C-alpha cells in the first residue's frame, strides 16, 4: 500500500522529548481524513534511553494504523547522516521533517498535505514550510518575527542573510522526489556544518522546485542548550552563504556597491576574490563619520602596501546593484524605507547579506 506522508525524525539522546513529539503525531487530524502516515526514525548513536523508549510506541502506532520504521547507529555520524538514513527508511510521497525536540500542531500534516497536493502539478516539486512559535516564549524573537513575516517572493530572495533557510527546517514538508532527484543531506561534516542550509540552497537551484509557506502556526520550535543548530560554526554558515551569493548573484554583476562601511561590510569585502573586489565601485552608509573618511583602504600587512581604495558615499548617492551588509530590522525601519523610496527591487537591484 502506498503511503502519503512519512514523518522523518532524526534523534540523538532525545529521551526527554520523545513522548511529547510522538503524542503530537498521534493527535494529527489527518488520521481521520484517510491520509496514510508512517514514522521513520534514525537513532544517531544515543547514549541515553532513546532506543528503548522508541520501542514502547509500536503497539499504539499499530492501533492507529501508522507505520513505524526505525534504525540506529552505535556511534554518532551527524545530523545530515541521520536525516538521510531516516528518509531511506521511508516510502511515502511526502516527507514531513520533525526534530525530536519540536512538536507539531494537530493540523500540521493535514494543512501541509493539502497545500502540497494543490501545488504538485506539471512535474513541480513542492517545498513547504509554515509559521512557528518558540518555546520558551520570546526565544530568538527577531529571527522568529523575520521568518514568519516573509512572503512568497522573499522566501526566495532573502536566502543569503545570517538567519539561515527562509523556510525554517523544523517546518519542512517536501516532495519525496526532491530527495531522490535533487539532493540529499551533506554527510561529510558530522559536526558544525549547516546541513539544512546546504540542502535548501541546492533545492533553490532547481527550477522544478516551488517554495511556499503555509500561513498557519504549525510547529513549536524548541530553544534549548542542546539544540543542534547551536553547534553549527558561524564561519561555516558565512562561507556557505557567500558561496551561494557568488554562484547565483555576483557572477552575473559587472559592478556593485557594498551597503555598510562598518564591520560587516568590511568583512564581506575582505572575503571577496580579487576579481570580485574589482567590481565594487563604492561602499555606502548613513553614518556621516564613515562618509567623511572618504575612502575605505585595504592594507596588506606583508607588503605594507594599500591594495585597494574604494570610495565611501551616502546611501542616497548609491546606484544599484547593492549587497546590503546591514542587519534587517535593527534600524527602526530606516533601511527598509530607504529601499522602498529608491524603488529598488529585491533580488534584482539589491540583495540582503546582513
DSSP letter for each residue of 312-346:
EEEGGG--S-EEE-SPTTSSTTHHHHHHHHHTPPB
| Beta carbons within 10 angstroms of residue 341's beta carbon | 9
Side-chain-side CA neighbours of 127 within 13 Å: the count stands at: 26
- Check pLDDT > 80 for residue 329: no
Confidence band, pLDDT 50/70/90 cuts, at residue 330:
low
286-308: pLDDT as tens digits: 999 999 999 998 877 778 788 88
Contact between 130 and 108 (Cβ < 8 Å):
yes
**What value does the mean pLDDT of the chain take?**
93
Q: Where in the chain is the domain with CATH 3.40.50?
A: 252-352
Q: Where in the chain is the domain with CATH 3.90.550.10?
A: 5-235
**pLDDT for position 1:** 58
- Check pLDDT > 90 for residue 338: no
**pLDDT for position 201:** 98
- Check pLDDT > 90 for residue 227: no
According to CATH, the topology of domain 5-235 is: Spore Coat Polysaccharide Biosynthesis Protein SpsA; Chain A (3.90.550)
Q: Provide CATH code, domain 252-352.
A: 3.40.50
**pLDDT for position 146:** 92
Q: What is the mean pLDDT of residues 145-172?
A: 94
Q: What is the mean pLDDT of residues 229-233?
A: 75
DSSP letter for each residue of 205-240:
T-TTEEEEEEEEEEEEEE--TT-GGGGS-HHHHHHH
**pLDDT for position 122:** 83
Q: What is the mean pLDDT of residues 141-160?
A: 94
Contact between 131 and 115 (Cβ < 8 Å):
no
Give the integer Cα–Cα distance in Å for 286 and 266: 15
- Which 3-state string (H, E, C) describes 169-181? HHHCEEEHHHHHH
Enter the pTM of the model: 0.93
Q: What is the mean pLDDT of residues 333-343?
A: 81
77-102: pLDDT as tens digits: 999 999 999 999 999 999 999 999 99
Confidence band, pLDDT 50/70/90 cuts, at residue 332:
low
Query: DSSP letter at 124?
Result: P
232-278: pLDDT as tens digits: 888 999 999 999 999 999 999 999 999 999 999 999 999 999 999 99
Amino acid at each position: 500500500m502506498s503511503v502519503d506522508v512519512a514523518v522523518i525524525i532524526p534523534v540523538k539522546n532525545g529521551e526527554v522529548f520523545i513522548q511529547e513529539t510522538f503524542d503530537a503525531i498521534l493527535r494529527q487530524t489527518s488520521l481521520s481524513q484517510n491520509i496514510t502516515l508512517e514514522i521513520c526514525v534514525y537513532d544517531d548513536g544515543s547514549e541515553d534511553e532513546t532506543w528503548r523508549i522508541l520501542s514502547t510506541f509500536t503497539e499504539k502506532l499499530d492501533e492507529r494504523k501508522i507505520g513505524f520504521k526505525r534504525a540506529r547507529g552505535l556511534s554518532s555520524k551527524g545530523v545530515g547522516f541521520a536525516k538521510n538514513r531516516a528518509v531511506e527508511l521511508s516510502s511515502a510521497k511526502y516527507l514531513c521533517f520533525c526534530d525530536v525536540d519540536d512538536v507539531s500542531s494537530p493540523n500540521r500534516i493535514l494543512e501541509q498535505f493539502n497545500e502540497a497536493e494543490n501545488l504538485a502539478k506539471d512535474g513541480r516539486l513542492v517545498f513547504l514550510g509554515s509559521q512557528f512559535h518558540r518555546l520558551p516564549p520570546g526565544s530568538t524573537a527577531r529571527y522568529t518575527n523575520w521568518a514568519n513575516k516573509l512572503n512568497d517572493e522573499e522566501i526566495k530572495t532573502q536566502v543569503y542573510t545570517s538567519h539561515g533557510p527562509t523556510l525554517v527546517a523544523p517546518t519542512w514538508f517536501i516532495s519525496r522526489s526532491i530527495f531522490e532527484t535533487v539532493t540529499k543531506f551533506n554527510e561529510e561534516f558530522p559536526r558544525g556544518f549547516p546541513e539544512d542550509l546546504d540542502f535548501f540552497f541546492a533545492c533553490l537551484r532547481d527550477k522544478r522546485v516551488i517554495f511556499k509557506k503555509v500561513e498557519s502556526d504549525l510547529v513549536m520550535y524548541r530553544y534549548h542548550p542542546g539544540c543542534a543548530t547551536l553547534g553549527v560554526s558561524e564561519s561555516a554558515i558565512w562561507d556557505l552563504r557567500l558561496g551561494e551569493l557568488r554562484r547565483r548573484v555576483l557572477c552575473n554583476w559587472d559592478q556593485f556597491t557594498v551597503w555598510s562601511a562598518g564591520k560587516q561590510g568590511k568583512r564581506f569585502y575582505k572575503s571577496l576574490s580579487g576579481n570580485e573586489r574589482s567590481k565594487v565601485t563604492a561602499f555606502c552608509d548613513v553614518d556621516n563619520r564613515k562618509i567623511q573618511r572618504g575612502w575605505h583602504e585595504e592594507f596588506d600587512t606583508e607588503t605594507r602596501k594599500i591594495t585597494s581604495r574604494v570610495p565611501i558615499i551616502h546611501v542616497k548617492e548609491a546606484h544599484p546593484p547593492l549587497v546590503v551588509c546591514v542587519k534587517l530590522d535593527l534600524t527602526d525601519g530606516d533601511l527598509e524605507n530607504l529601499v522602498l523610496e529608491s524603488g529598488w527591487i529585491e533580488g534584482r537591484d539589491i540583495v540582503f547579506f546582513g
